[in-house]
Amino acid sequence: MHRSISIRRIDAGKLMAFIFLTFLAIIWIIPFLWIFLSSFKVEMEINQAGGFMYFPKTWTLENYKELLDPNNKQLPIYRWFINSFFISGIHTILSVIIYSMSAYAYAKLQFKGRDTIFLVLMGLSVFPAIINIIPLYKLCLVLGWLNGPLALIVPGLAGMFNIFLIRQFLYGIPDSLLEVARIDGASEWTIYFKVILPLAKPVLIAVALFSFTGNWNDFLWPSIAINNIDRLTLTAGLQLAKGAYGVKVAHMSTVAVIAIIPMAILYLFTQKYFIHGISLSSGIKG
């Protein structure tokens, strides 16, 4: 008797949760759906309809053709894509290498001042990046990096958080494993490449994804460091869309769809790593 009541209760809870989540999912999907629909509309037809219509009258791909055209001078999205892929790609590779090397040393090697250095760096990193942005501009100016990819690739490699994250993960690897390798005569570098990197793969994938999306989505810094429209990243460049297309609903929606698609695809294939990575970084697992 009791049992059936409790089962029915759980079902009621589940049903409530389902309704609540369906409602939210609709809210979350509507904006995407709206730009997607609007991107196929003909600008003229929207105007004729008084500036608003739910569905495209004629479905067209012209907006996409126009915007992705490599010769689009007004909003060189094509160019920005290439810039963003290049910059974020290199930044990600360097992040994984540099952060994992440091994390390995702090977690597994014995050397004088190890814990002090780590603590001092962690302590200093409470100063938020925002304080540094104006001096960083000056520094890049002096280095001749402004308007170039280096300004967007290198300064972001100075962070501490990912080192902390990888270090935490490496504590989970037993020292005995490394000792065996050492007795076999492996150098620290061999151990790093052959033992640490393969074993730390889950956390390194998370760091790679965070570095890539973080760099790709950075807005303030690229919009300061880059003045040349052809050298902007996609995220910073999109700021110009409003000036270029103003109230052209279909064009603006197409721009938004194009900007979202790469991340949507990345997410589709790496979803579980993202979610695992967030859990790692909040200190719940690992």
Partner 1 sequence: MADISAAIKRKKKFKITPYLFIAPHIILFIVFFLYPLGYGIFASFTKWNLFNQPEFIGLENYRLILFEKDSTFYRQFWNGLKNTVTFVIICVPFQIIIPLLIAQALNLKPKGHRFFQSTIYMPTLVSITAVTLTWMFIFNRTLGLFNNMLGTDINWYGEQPYAWMTVVIVTIWWIAGQNMIIYVAALEGIDKDILEAAQIDGVNMFQRFFRITLPSIRFQLVYTLVISIIQQFNIYGQPLMLTGGGPNETTFVLLMYIRNLAFGTGNSIAGVSTAMSMVLGLVICIVSIFQLILLRNREA
196-215 residues near partner 1, rule: CB under 8 A:
213
Identity of the residue, 173 or 224, whose beta carbon is nearer to partner 1 in the bound complex? 224
Q: Which amino acid is residue 84, in one-letter code?
A: S
Q: Which of residues 13-42 bind partner 1 (CB under 8 A)?
A: 13-18, 20-22, 24-25, 27-32, 34-35, 38
**To the nearest whole angstrom, how small is the minimum distance from the Cβ of residue 147 to partner 1?**
14
Tell me how many degrees the CA angle 93-94-98 measures, rounded to the nearest 5.
Answer: 125
Rounded alpha-carbon distances, angstroms, from residue 105 to 37, 101, 135, 189, 265: 52, 6, 30, 11, 35
Instruction: State the Cα–Cα distance between residues 236 and 224, nearest whole angstrom.
Output: 9
Q: Which residue, 58 or 279, has its beta carbon nearer to partner 1?
A: 279
Determine the interface stretch with partner 1 among 58-66, 71-79, 158-166, 172-180 (rule: CB under 8 A).
Answer: 158-166
Residue with smaller CB distance to partner 1, 58 or 227: 227
> How large is the greatest C-alpha to C-alpha distance in the chain, in angstroms?
79
Within 124-143, the residues that bind partner 1 by CB under 8 A are 124-128, 130-139, 141
Contact (Cβ atoms closer than 8 angstroms) between residue 215 and residue 145: no
Q: How far is the CB of 196 from partner 1 (least distance, A)?
A: 10
Least separation, in Å, of the C-beta of 75 and partner 1? Answer: 12
Q: How far is the CB of 62 from partner 1 (least distance, A)?
A: 18
DSSP symbols for 235-252: HHHGGGHHHHHTT-HHHH
Dist CA 33 CA 77 (whole Å): 22
Question: How many binding residues for partner 1 (CB under 8 A)?
Answer: 102
* 75 to 238, 251, 256, 274: CA distances (angstroms): 8, 11, 13, 31
- If one asks whether residue 147 binds partner 1 (CB under 8 A), the answer comes out as no
Q: How far is the CB of 69 from partner 1 (least distance, A)?
A: 19
Q: Which of residues 67-96 bind partner 1 (CB under 8 A)?
A: none
Reported for 43-48, long-range contacts at CB under 8 A and 24+ positions apart, including other chains, are 43/248, 43/249, 43/250, 43/251, 46/249, 46/250
Residue with Cβ nearer partner 1 (31 or 144): 31
Nearest approach, Cβ of 65 to partner 1 (angstroms)? 19
Scan residues 107-126 and list those touching partner 1 (CB under 8 A): 109-111, 114, 117, 121-126
Convert residues 166-195 into a mask of x (bound to partner 1 by CB under 8 A) and - (unbound).
--x------------------xxx--x---
| Span between the terminal Cα atoms of the chain, in Å | 42
Of 75, 203, 249, 273, which lies in the binding site for partner 1, with binding defined by CB under 8 A? 249
